[in-house]
């Protein structure tokens, strides 16, 4: 699951009043996705701010699976009977888990939840942990989409990024993934330490050459509480970074990819349905250490987060009574307007205006002043039938999103 706003969360209200002031309630619940967090990795990359923890030796698979089942069992009342549209294994490095563990998790999900037979099931993998037999085992377990954290095909850049794989392993992993499943995504980063425009172009061209159905092209950013934030490397300036992004977009689109989200490019029929559900303000249940959830009810919309540290999460979840859920919050109307726009405006085509009403239970009048300000600044297209950023608004997306924060 790529990055979302993380806010303190709460599920319940004791006074029986409707959960969000001014809401009419939801006529129908949105699609539901499942996110499974695998917290371990071989090496913590210096740019990474995700909930990942270095682990040497054998993973505690049995303890993890036992805790994961308890986590899901305690969450079932909130999502009972709802069909699941997608499943996503993120991390950390999910490909550290054995194929048997993934098979057991998917079996657990199918036994407790309403998973259609053809549901999209994505697993993130690190090329440094790729094994052909393991990838085939994932596919046999039900994984039908693999997302590979390539980042670069340049050994020098991979070393600077602290990656545990080299370019040859990246190329081999792509072949393994393509032989195992029909849908493969490649994660690539640009504006890397001391990267030139020509080096960025070579990376993008090579990524395209493998013929995968999906590309995710991310700008390297210095996130707080990371090694790179404390010891910043020398990065391309803003002008060069923008040129790299424009060049990458042009190369991908000329090769038949549609840029449907700020960082996401897909060939026909290859859009990532899991991430699309996030951007369209759908629901998701996150299980595992540090996982976040957004769950809608007819009269309220809630967020929650699990304990971040793997050992603490496993201990708390096995104690029962929801002790592993350490943050809970019920969204109010200001939260809803901002969070909806934070996600939906990332989509190139935006969303229909009616989707705002459907997913938040609010009238568009609640965000009309902010929309008017954004239109006046040339950041948002006028009209209520479709909420979509202008080309200028998409380029300065943070400025556009901030209009809805007040």
Percent of the chain at pLDDT exceeding 90: 89
CATH number for the domain including 130? 3.20.20.70
Instruction: Identify the band that residue 21 occupies on the pLDDT scale cut at 50, 70 and 90.
Output: very low
Q: Are residues 127 and 237 in the same domain?
A: yes
Q: Are residues 253 and 384 in the same domain?
A: no
Q: Are residues 272 and 358 in the same domain?
A: no
pLDDT over 60 at 7, yes or no? no
Q: Are residues 185 and 57 in the same domain?
A: yes
What average pLDDT does this structure show over 363-391? 96
Q: Are residues 354 and 251 in the same domain?
A: no
Q: Are residues 42 and 189 in the same domain?
A: yes
Q: Are residues 92 and 198 in the same domain?
A: yes
Average pLDDT, the chain: 92
Residue 55's CB is within 10 A of a number of other CB atoms, namely 17
Question: Sign (positive/negative) of CA torsion 159, 163, 164, 166?
Answer: negative
pLDDT digits over 317-359, tens only? 999 999 999 999 999 988 999 999 999 999 999 999 999 999 9
pLDDT at 9: 30
Q: Are residues 229 and 371 in the same domain?
A: no
Tell me if 306 sits within 8 A of 324, measured CB to CB.
yes
Residue 286 lies in a domain: no
Q: Are residues 388 and 239 in the same domain?
A: no
Residue 337 lies in a domain: no
255 secondary structure, DSSP code: T
pLDDT digits over 253-305, tens only? 999 999 999 999 999 999 999 999 999 999 999 999 999 999 999 999 999 99
82 secondary structure, DSSP code: P
pLDDT at 24: 66
pLDDT over 60 at 112, yes or no? yes
Q: Is 261 helix (H, G, I), strand (E, B) or coil?
A: strand
Locus of tokens 């013929």: 211
Q: How far apart are CA 282 and CA 120, in angstroms?
A: 15
Residue 360 sits in which domain range?
349-402
Q: Are residues 260 and 368 in the same domain?
A: no
Q: Which of 215, 245, 278 is the last residue of a domain?
A: 278
Element (H, E) at 127: none
Render 164-222 in DSSP notation, one character per residue: S--HHHHHHHHHHHHHH-SEEEEEEEES-TT--HHHHHHHHHHHHHT--SEEEEEE---
Tell me if 310 sits within 8 A of 53, measured CB to CB.
yes
Instruction: Identify the band that residue 28 occupies on the pLDDT scale cut at 50, 70 and 90.
Output: very high
Q: Which of 250, 278, 306 is the last residue of a domain?
A: 278
Tell me if 19 sits within 8 A of 299, measured CB to CB.
yes
Residue 304 lies in a domain: no
Residue 26 lies in a domain: no
Q: Are residues 274 and 353 in the same domain?
A: no
What average pLDDT does this structure show over 157-162? 96
Q: Which of 246, 278, 310 is the last residue of a domain?
A: 278
Residue 294 lies in a domain: no
Q: Are residues 177 and 52 in the same domain?
A: yes
Tell me if 71 sits within 8 A of 306, measured CB to CB.
yes
Instruction: Identify the band that residue 132 occupies on the pLDDT scale cut at 50, 70 and 90.
Output: confident
Residue 158 lies in a domain: yes
Residue 223 lies in a domain: yes
How many structural domains are present in the chain?
2
pLDDT over 60 at 8, yes or no? no
Residue 360 lies in a domain: yes
Element (H, E) at 160: helix 155-160
């Amino acid at each position: 699951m790529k990055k979302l706003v993380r806010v303190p969360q709460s599920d319940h209200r004791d006074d029986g009043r409707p959960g969000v002031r001014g809401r009419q309630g939801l006529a129908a619940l949105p699609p539901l996705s499942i996110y499974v967090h695998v917290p371990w990795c071989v090496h913590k990359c210096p740019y990474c701010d995700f909930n990942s923890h270095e682990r040497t030796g054998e993973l505690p698979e049995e303890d993890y699976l036992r805790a994961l089942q308890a986590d899901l069992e305690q969450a079932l009342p909130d999502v009972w009977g709802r069909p699941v549209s997608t499943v996503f294994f993120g991390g950390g490095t999910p490909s550290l888990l054995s194929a048997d563990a993934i098979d057991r998790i998917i079996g657990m999900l199918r036994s407790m939840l309403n998973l259609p037979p053809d549901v999209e099931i994505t697993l993130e993998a690190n090329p440094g942990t790729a094994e052909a037999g393991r990838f085939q085992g994932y596919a046999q377990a039900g994984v039908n989409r693999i997302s590979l954290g390539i980042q670069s095909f340049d050994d020098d850049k991979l070393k600077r990024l602290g990656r545990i794989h080299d370019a040859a392993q990246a190329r081999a992993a792509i072949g393994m993934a393509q032989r195992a499943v029909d849908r493969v995504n490649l994660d690539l980063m640009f504006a890397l330490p001391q990267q030139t425009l020509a080096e960025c172009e070579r990376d993008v061209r090579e990524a395209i050459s493998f013929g995968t159905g999906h590309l995710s092209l991310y700008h390297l950013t210095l996130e707080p509480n990371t090694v790179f934030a404390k010891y910043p490397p020398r990065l391309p300036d803003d002008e060069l970074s923008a040129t790299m992004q424009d060049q990458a977009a042009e190369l991908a689109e000329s090769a038949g990819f549609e840029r449907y989200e700020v960082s996401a490019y897909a060939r026909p029929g290859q859009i990532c349905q899991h991430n699309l559900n996030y951007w369209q303000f759908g629901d998701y249940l996150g299980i595992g250490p540090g996982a976040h959830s957004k769950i809608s009810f007819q009269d309220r919309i809630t967020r929650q987060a699990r304990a971040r540290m793997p050992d603490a999460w496993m201990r708390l979840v096995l104690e029962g009574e929801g002790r592993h859920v350490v943050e809970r919050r019920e969204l109010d109307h200001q939260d809803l307007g901002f969070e909806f726009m934070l996600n939906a405006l990332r989509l190139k085509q935006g969303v229909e205006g009616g989707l705002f009403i459907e997913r938040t239970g609010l009238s568009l009048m609640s965000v009309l002043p902010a929309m008017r300000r954004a239109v006046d600044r040339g950041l948002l297209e006028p009209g209520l039938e479709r909420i979509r950023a202008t080309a200028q608004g998409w380029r300065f997306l943070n400025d556009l999103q901030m209009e809805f924060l007040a």
